[in-house]
């Protein structure tokens, strides 16, 4: 399930206030088949910001029984890539070199591949990105894998904008730091996206890769191939809430300013366990910068 499939699905529960897509039902069925209890799944969905009526609809016996069969391609996932973006963490370093800055390593996880970086951006850099983006914000869109275009998504309630690569000295400096940190060329990255989450805003659990089974995916992939990794950097802390959640593993990263959350997915498949979301902001505003990395030059 990509970051757009939930919105494009027309399968909604008649009683749920949040849309229940076929992909979510499939995910529920997979988790139960893997031995996860109904109670554990309910807690994971609550932690990720789902409302009780939507949880009941998604986890009821009828919903699980109605889960669509996996397409043939999903039954045999693509082989994992061997060359991937990511930091060099041999020897368990406390700091890694990002060129113009030594960045802290706060947390690492192997499956899913998650690394949390501290002190990735300075306060001044965070403020500069916010100031440059503020006047250009609009309701956030998501890539629409049904068509290859973009669309509003009810699961994403932030405002956002994109900087073009190298648009300003600050953007260029941040991009070069990310490229050095993750050992991936600047040209293989999408433009830096800035998002603002007001109180109540969230991004429900989704995947960032593009589903190969969707009809619009070939069009999307022409601009740089598949997404391989995501880096989310917190620019402004909310007063409460707003963490980045990974429901499959029960992980939530607090949105501390200057901290970055990196995760990679070596194939476009749920087996990467990179289902993630932005928990609702309960007080204040959360600002983030997101960098998506592609398999080849993004034009």
Range with the lowest mean pLDDT among 89-103, 124-138, 154-168, 225-239?
Answer: 154-168
Per-residue pLDDT, 273: 97
Helices (H), the chain: 5-8, 22-33, 38-47, 52-59, 61-65, 72-75, 123-134, 169-182, 217-221
Do 159 and 130 form a contact (C-beta atoms < 8 A)?
no
Confidence of residue 158 (pLDDT cuts 50, 70, 90): confident
Own/partner contacts of 144-147, CB < 8 Å, gap of 24 or more, are 144/4, 144/7, 144/8, 144/216, 145/2, 145/4, 145/5, 145/8, 145/210, 145/211, 145/214, 145/215, 145/216, 145/217, 145/220, 146/4, 146/8, 146/214, 146/215, 146/216, 147/215, 147/216, 147/219
pTM above 0.85, yes or no: no
Higher confidence at residue 77 or residue 18?
A: 18
Task: Please report, for the chain, the start and end positions of each structural domain, with discontinuous segments joined by +.
Answer: 5-74, 84-294
Over residues 255-297, the pLDDT tens digits come to 999 999 999 999 999 999 999 999 999 999 999 999 999 999 9
CATH number of 84-294: 2.60.120.620
Average pLDDT, the chain: 84
Spatial contact of 190 and 259, defined as CB atoms under 8 Å apart: no
Question: Is residue 5 predicted with pLDDT exceeding 60?
Answer: no
Question: Which tens digits make up the pLDDT trace of 37-63?
Answer: 677 777 777 777 787 777 877 776 544
Q: Give me the mean pLDDT over the 234-260 stretch.
A: 98
């Amino acid at each position: 399930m990509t970051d757009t499939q939930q919105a494009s699905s027309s399968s909604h529960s008649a009683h749920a206030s949040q849309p229940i897509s076929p992909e979510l039902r499939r995910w529920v069925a997979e988790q139960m088949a893997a031995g996860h209890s109904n109670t554990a799944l309910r807690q994971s969905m609550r932690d990720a910001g789902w409302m009780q009526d939507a949880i009941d609809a998604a986890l009821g016996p009828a919903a699980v029984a109605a889960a669509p069969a996996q397409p043939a391609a999903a039954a045999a996932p693509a082989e994992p890539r061997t060359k991937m973006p990511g930091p060099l963490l041999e020897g368990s370093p406390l700091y890694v070199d990002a060129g113009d800055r030594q960045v802290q390593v706060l947390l690492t996880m192997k499956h899913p591949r998650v690394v949390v970086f501290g002190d990735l951006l300075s306060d001044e850099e965070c403020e500069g990105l916010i100031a440059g983006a503020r006047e250009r914000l609009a309701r956030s869109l998501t890539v629409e894998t049904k068509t290859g275009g973009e669309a509003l998504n009810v699961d994403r309630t932030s405002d956002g904008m994109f900087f073009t690569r190298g648009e300003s000295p600050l953007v260029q400096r941040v991009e070069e730091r990310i490229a050095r940190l993750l050992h991936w060329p600047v040209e293989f990255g999408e433009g830096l996206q800035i998002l603002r989450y007001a109180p109540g805003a969230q991004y429900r659990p989704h995947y960032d890769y593009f589903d190969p089974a969707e009809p619009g995916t070939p069009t999307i992939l022409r601009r740089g191939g598949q997404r391989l990794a995501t880096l989310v950097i917190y620019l402004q802390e909310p007063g409460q809430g707003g963490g980045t959640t990974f429901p499959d593993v029960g992980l939530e990263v607090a949105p501390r300013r200057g901290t970055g959350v990196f995760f990679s997915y070596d194939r476009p498949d749920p087996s990467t366990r990179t289902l993630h979301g932005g928990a609702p902001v309960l007080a204040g505003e959360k600002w983030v910068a997101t960098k998506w990395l592609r398999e080849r030059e993004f034009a």
